[in-house]
Amino acid sequence: MNARRAPPLAPPPPPQLPLPPVLFADNRFVVLDKPAGLPAHPGPRGGPSVESFFPRLSRRRDGPWLAHRLDADTAGCLLIALRRAALIEAQRHFAEGRAHKIYWAVVAGVPDGDTGTIDAPLVRRSGPGGWRMEIAPGGQPAVTLWRLRGAAGGLAWLELSPRTGRTHQVRVHCASLGCPVLGDPLYGGGQGRLHLLARALRLDLDPPVAAVAPVPPHMRDAMARCGWDGTE
């Protein structure tokens, strides 16, 4: 007589992690203040991600969805669509460069001048150590505007406005200035935590979507050294 197979064990429920702060919410979108270190979507090694919180954001069967992505180590504004029509509309704005994004970064080094534009196409390269983005002729167009907000002790506080949305764009473009983002191990050989914040996001929809993220704790000391007074 053949023994009956036991049914497979159900996966354990996800841990009840605290929901990241909500910066904006309506019946179409939620903007979360994603903490540094939390991936936007599940990775091969498992663990929590922003998508782990989706059941708490909506009970609809056909959503929510990430409307765009942030690197796991980047903090700040992350847009989540609660309805499919909203997702399509937001993705169109991102694809057409109509989403207004502002990043704050503390970088190692001080750029020449007070403002500038980086127009440097990017391509993804794979190697023995994994993949990275590189500036290369014929790559995808990538444009970032930058402004120096303050500097001290070999560090600078930059405000960056990417006009395109390439993977790792802000990090690579900062490195191309000779000023890699503080703590960037991939493009600057840095150690510690990445000092990069998706500070503000605005989509001129009807009605508009707008959110501003606070400076995370791990960036505050370096920001203050560069002139940030904590009032914005």
Q: Mind listing the pLDDT tens digit for each residue in 136-165? A: 999 999 999 999 999 999 999 999 999 999
Question: Position of tokens 């960056």?
Answer: 160
Question: What pLDDT sits at residue 3?
Answer: 47
Judge whether 10 lies within some domain: no
Judge whether 230 lies within some domain: no
Of 115, 195, 194, 203, nearest in space to 160 by CA: 115
Question: What CATH number is attached to the domain comprising 120?
Answer: 3.30.2350.10
Would you say 103 and 159 are in contact if contact means Cβ atoms under 8 Å apart? yes
The answer to whether residue 62 scores a pLDDT higher than 90 is: no
Q: What's the rounded Cα separation, in Å, for the pair 105 and 177?
A: 13
Type and span of the H or E element at 158: strand 155-162
Number of domains in the chain: 1
Judge whether 1 lies within some domain: no
Neighbours of 215 (CB within 10 A): 20
End-to-end CA distance of the chain: 74
Judge whether 37 lies within some domain: yes
For residues 40-66, average pLDDT: 87
Q: Catalytic one among 26, 33, 62, 71?
A: 71
Name the band, by pLDDT with cuts 50, 70 and 90, for residue 107.
Answer: very high
Its domain, for residue 68, covers: 22-225
Name the band, by pLDDT with cuts 50, 70 and 90, for residue 49.
Answer: very high
Question: What pLDDT sits at residue 44?
Answer: 77
Judge whether 76 lies within some domain: yes
Catalytic residue flag (residue 184): no
Residue 66, beta-bridge partner list: 80
The pairing of strands 122-127 and 115-119 is unpaired
- Name the more confident of 24 and 41: 24
Helix, strand, coil distribution of the chain in percent, nearest 5: 15, 35, 50
Ramachandran sector of residue 118 (left: φ over 0; alpha: ψ -120 to 50; beta: rest): beta
